[in-house]
Amino acid sequence: MDNTTVDALYLLPPEPQPHKATQKAYVGLSPKFQGTAVPWHLALSDKAYKSFQRDTELYQQQRDNLNLKYYSETYIPTDKVFEYMRPAKINLSCYERYASVDTTGHIHSFIPNRDGYAQCVDYSRISTTTGRLKTIAGPMLLHLPKIYRGVLESRWSNGVVLSLDYNSLEPRVLLSVSGTQPVERGRDIYETIRTDLFPNNQEVSRSVVKKIVLSEIYGAGINTIREQLPNVNNLQDIIQEIRTHFNLDPLLQRLKDEWTATNNNWIENFYGRRVKTTTAHTLINHYIQSTAVDVAMLGFKNLLEYVDQLGRLEDIVPLFVLHDALILDINPNAFSLINGLAKVGGTDIKGLESTTFFMSVDKGFTKETL
């Protein structure tokens, strides 16, 4: 068990240590103890050691009382996704051209080795509030402007680098966890809500529904929504009908109760990951975004395990996770499997098996735009 990861996932304070000045002074006096357990009962005064011991015992009690179900049943199994990742092939001419004009500096993280491949990416899953990935080494595709994606090319002459991307993942997650009837596979979630709830109201277009749904998920207030939709009549009633459709009020009340019980420190997402939350208006957003991260990782795990079981990892090579998308390098002899991969990645998600999370295929992911 990785104690550092567990502490971060469960929002525990760092393991107690003596004051930094004391540590520095002791190591300076006794360098042979570096890298070993320091006998603080000898190095500290009795008063300082007793205080250190109390803090250590309290920390250990917190760890002993943890329910590690999320860590063992969701986090660790989905970590397998990163074990499948392989280096991406780099288009050298594009790299050189982009590097000469890129002002972000991100293109340089794709520098190829002598064989023409970038470094394999290394992500952190504990550096952000909701668990969204952060690149800590290797190609920074998470931050690379789309115009530079042509820097990637297939390792096969007629292959293709593509993305399998979850469509409207967060609204679909919200529908699923709230107990609302999920939208059928392939149907546009915003158009479905519009036709189901407002079939005779011409003012309520798909774009109006989308703005309201996303505003509610991201915690925007009524005044902000009014600024975005100044010409929609009875906006308050429309918003409330959409909130009712998503069962938002009961969900928000449950999250507020949970948040209050933790002294306004954190809530748990659908799978049990603790999410640090400091304001009430971010409760829904943090809950849904964090749950969506886990849904995507579970789907990517299902997809890559399926490829592994087929024995096709040499032809279907995973390169990156890009938020809600999985980037793959596909051999031409595996093109016929692509639609099946999208189906596998969107079905049988643990805990939400009744919902299909539709994945779209973008074969133009690396289309050169410069």
Buried b (16+ CB within 10 A) or exposed e, 70-89: bbeebbeebeebbebbebbb
Tokens of 209: 């529904």
Q: Do 301 and 80 touch, CB atoms closer than 8 A?
A: yes
Q: How many CB atoms lie within 10 A of CB 330?
A: 23
Which amino acid makes up residue 251?
L
Could you give the CA distance from residue 340 to residue 348 in angstroms, rounded to a whole number? 14
Q: Which of 223, 218, 246, 220 is nearest to 236 (CA)?
A: 223
Instruction: Render the burial of 94-108: b for 16+ CB within 10 Å, e for the rest.
Output: bbebbeeebeeebbe
pTM: predicted TM-score of the whole model, two decimal places: 0.89
Predicted pLDDT of residue 12:
87
Residue partners of 293: CB distance under 8 A and separation at least 6 = 130, 131, 132
The one-letter code for the residue type at 74 is T
- DSSP letters of 148-170? GGGGEE-SSTT-EEEEEEETTHH
Distance CA 52, CA 222 (A): 50
Instruction: Chunk the chain into consecutive blocks of 10 residues (it has 370) and report each block's average pLDDT, rounded to whole numbers.
Output: 88 74 57 57 72 79 87 97 98 95 93 96 96 96 94 96 96 88 71 92 92 92 90 92 94 96 96 95 96 98 98 98 97 96 96 92 85
Question: Three-state SS for 116?
Answer: coil
Tokens encoding 365: 């992911």
Distance CA 64, CA 48 (A): 24
Angstrom distance (rounded) from CA 128 to CA 134: 7
> Helices H, strands E: what count in the chain?
16, 10
Q: Are 359 and 346 in contact (CB under 8 A)?
A: yes
For the chain, how big is the Rg over CA atoms in Å?
A: 25
**Domain layout of the chain by residue ranges:** 3-66, 171-282
Question: In angstroms, rounded to a whole number, what is the distance separating the alpha carbons of residues 327 and 363?
Answer: 10
List alpha helices for the chain, DSSP H. Answer: 3-9, 20-29, 40-43, 46-64, 69-70, 76-78, 80-83, 92-99, 169-177, 189-197, 206-217, 222-228, 235-245, 248-261, 283-310, 338-346
Instruction: Enter the tokens of residue 147.
Output: 């115009």
- For 36, residues 6+ apart whose C-beta sits below 8 A from its C-beta are none
pLDDT for res 28: 54
Of 247, 244, 241, 266, residue with least CA distance to 256: 266
Nearest in space to 347 (alpha carbons), one of 172, 85, 130, 161: 172
